[in-house]
Amino acid sequence: MIKEKTNRYNESSRSKRKSKVGALWFAPVFLLCVTLIVLTLACRPYIDFAFSMARMFLVDERLTYNGETITTAPGEFPSFGEEFGKLKIEKISLVGPLYQGDTEEVLSKGIGHFYGSALPGEGSNVVFSAHRNTHFAQLGALIPGDRITLDTSGGVFVYEMVDAVIISENDEQYVMPTTNEVLTLLTCYPFDFIGETTQRYIVRCRLISGPENAWGGV
């Protein structure tokens, strides 16, 4: 009887030891997997940005479709997904490609024009957005008076920063049409936050110079 109890005790002890060993083995593997997932999500925008910069300076950066380039011709209204210029801000050493549209695919390559907002020179609200940890990472360093240049297929437009505001992600007043031309630069906020945010950082600018009827009167 005593021997039988001893055997059951030994089997129970071995089972507990195996359970502990299994838990000790699983914990670091689980932590490693979580760490790799977090790092992948956090670094993806930087990887996309690096490829974007490589395209800009090392190879023909124009988009292609079925092997054919689809960049916008001078003065021609840009179609969705086309690149049609560059945004330049000397203050923060920024030179970024401008694309028509602001889908995730577009934003992984450059700065997206809010589809439906005005184009430069059309006399209303011109809205561009980009990721806070790539092209617009230093947007918070701008102060009133800093110059922003849009070198587009419709001509060169120069704007001057007026102010900056922090808004809710659901606040749409700053992307609505305006009676006079303004440039609105938009990105997620806070800048150093990892993950989804509920706020947006807005830089508002006034037009200084640029051609009229840049897009053939469209």
Q: What token pair was written down for 63?
A: 């988009």
Residue 215 CB neighbours (<10 A): 21
Catalytic residue among 33, 43, 113, 131: 131
Catalytic residue among 113, 135, 188, 205: 188
The DSSP H or E segment spanning 50 is helix 2-58
Tell me the C-alpha distance between 148 and 150, whole Å: 7
- 131 a catalytic residue: yes
In contact, 107 and 131? CB cutoff 8 Å:
yes
- 33 a catalytic residue: no
In contact, 75 and 214? CB cutoff 8 Å:
yes
- Active site residue ranges: 131, 188
